[in-house]
Structure 1
Amino acid sequence: MAILNKFGQEVGADVEGWTTRAFPEKVVLKGNYCRLEPLDREKHGPELFNTYGKAGEKLWTYLPVGPFNNLEEYLEFINELNETKDTVPFAIINEETKRAVGTLCLIRIDQASGSLEVGYVVFSPELQKTIIATEAQFLLMKYVFDDLQYRRYEWKCDSLNGPSSRAAMRLGFKHEGTFRQVVVYKGRTRDTQWFSIIDKEWVDIRKTFEQWLDERYSMVFNNRQRMGRHSQNF
């Protein structure tokens, strides 16, 4: 049913009781397979630089930064992330090995509207296509929607980055469209695909995540019990 103002114009629904949302904090988010920690130059930088090196330069093709020629360049990039006003970066820690294996960042944080984006998603080869990769995304979403009560969670990528687009859809994001020639980066033009999850969709998406993760946790636990040792394959 359309909502009309006093001039007979159609308008959006009121957001009752809305208040500006808190800025995300540098918190630790714990799961069964991984935890997210505030990204730290000295603690995580060398491990991340080394594990990213195993993927080669192709890891950075669709990112606005990298590849990094040496450790100092990468450490300086971590400094820049931590000093950027609307960015909160996290390191992804493998709970079994206790090593940093990737990063996620909250960026473009709009407290007044309750909207933000997940960006600088950089997964090392040992993190890609694992349960840890999925759980890390879930932990950050859960923090944004359940703890901070934001309304909108965005994902953007180069329209030519098929793996990123497929990952967004797999994780429950809805495709909103393509912004044409919106960016020039690394000397190339970029059309950008936009995806989002909004708060009213989160309840069902959270249940799907929880069920999927619980099933795999039970499988891993039972396998370890049966084998009598720790499995290395998440």
Structure 2
Amino acid sequence: MEPRRNAFEQPIGAPVPGWKGAQPPGREPLTGRYCRVEPVDVERHAADLFDAYSSAADGRDWTYLAVGPFESPAAYREHLTRMAASTDPLHYALIDLATGKAVGTFALMRIDPANGVIEVGHVAYSPRVKRTRVATEAMFLLMSEVFGKLGYRRFEWKCDSLNEPSRAAALRYGFTFEGIFRQAIVYRKRNRDTAWFSTIDKEWAGLRACYTRWLDAENFDAQGRQVERLADLIARQRVVEGKSA
């Protein structure tokens, strides 16, 4: 499709009629079938989170984060206290409804309601949440809030370009790779080239259908194994959307 042109015959972007900005995220819990996402609370979550992170065999889960691993409950509690006091990033705990325990955290950050852009980051999942329905439903709940309730136009995911598990997770969740920002950050006294991913509001309806189908109890067999992969559902949905465009 040819772009619009102004009076000077310069190409210009598509109009955004009626745009008044998005809403800042609130602190109300988001509850699904398998998990609850709620703002971090030191008294409620510190002990559970330290215990969950301590279940890892080693410290590799912290390699691409600017903090951790934490050697004592007191050290982690101090860190979580700083997280709880922050409003951007706004940190959330993931609660496994089967156990009632906090099993990981992530944050909404770089919150820009005026332009309708927001990012998910500081993802710190313990072994108890990785590759579970809790992890996927948590992202679904966050996307539902960002697009469905708060009215954002763009949802971002960024990570160290060398962090292959994070890059794979972004693609599985339906984010689109946009490129590498070279020498974007210095952390842990080393360089970080940052991989950028995003999903946008016009893609949300299709993603919502894929997540809903994947999370349905019928998509899992008696041993809890998935029948259809989320990535496959999203890939098929994009073929359909491409044909109908």
* TM-score above 0.5: yes
Who is 1:227 aligned against?
none
Matched to 1:63, the amino acid is: L
2:218 alignment partner in structure 1: 218
Report which stretch shifted further, 67-76 or 122-131. Answer: 67-76
Match of 1:148 in 2: 150
Match of 2:55 in 1: 54
Q: Which runs of 5+ in 2 are unaligned?
A: 227-245
Contact 1:25 1:88 in 2 (8 A): no
1:59-208 alignment, distance < 5 Å:
59-208=61-210
Identify the residue that residue 19 of structure 1 maps to in structure 2: 20
Q: SS where residue 106 of structure 1 aligns?
A: strand
In 1: Cα distance, 2:50 partner to 2:95 partner: 14
Counterparts of 1:191 and 1:88, CA distance in 2: 24
Structure 1 regions of 5+ residues with no counterpart?
A: 224-230
The C-alpha deviation readout for 1:135-181, integer Å capped at 9, x for no partner, is 11111111110010100100011111111101100110000000111
2: distance between equivalents of 1:22 and 1:2? Answer: 29
The root-mean-square deviation of aligned C-alpha atoms, in Å, is: 1.7
CA distance in 2, matches of 1:136, 1:75: 23
- Partner Cα separation in structure 2 for residue 126 and residue 176 of structure 1: 30
Equivalent residue number for residue 6 of structure 2:
5
Task: Tell me, in whole angstroms, the C-alpha distance in 2 between the residues paired with 1:31 and 1:202.
Answer: 18
Letter in 2 for 1:28: P
User: Structure 1 residue 103: deviation in Å?
Assistant: 0.8
Alpha-carbon separation, structure 1, partners of 2:181 and 2:91? 25
Please give the alpha-carbon distance, in whole angstroms, between the structure 2 residues aligned to 1:18 and 1:163.
36
Between 170-179 and 48-57, the greater mean CA deviation after superposition: 48-57
> Are the equivalent residues in 1 in contact too, given 2:95–2:103 (CA < 8 A)?
yes
CA distance in 2: counterparts of 1:149 and 1:4, whole angstroms: 28
**Equivalent AA in structure 1 for residue 28 of structure 2:** V
1:219 to partner: Cα distance: 5.3
Identity over the aligned pairs, expressed in percent?
Answer: 47
C-alpha deviation, 1:93, in angstroms:
0.6
Cα distance change of structure 1 residues 5 and 82 upon mapping to structure 2, 3 Å threshold: farther
**What is the number of residues matched between the two proteins?**
224
Contact map agreement 2:3 2:14 (CA 8 A) in 1: no
Matched with 2:236 is none
User: Does structure 1 retain, via aligned residues, the 8 Å contact 2:213–2:219?
Assistant: no
CA drift of 1:193 comes to: 0.4
User: Which digits, 9 at most, give the CA deviation of each residue in 1:172-203, with x for residues without a partner?
Assistant: 00000001111111111111100000001111
Give the secondary structure class of the aligned counterpart of 1:104. Answer: strand
- CA deviations over 1:74-122 (Å, ceiling 9, x no partner): 2222222232342221111111111111112101100100111001111
Q: Secondary structure at the match of 1:105?
A: strand
TM-score by length of 2: 0.86
Any idea what SS the aligned residue of 1:218 has? helix
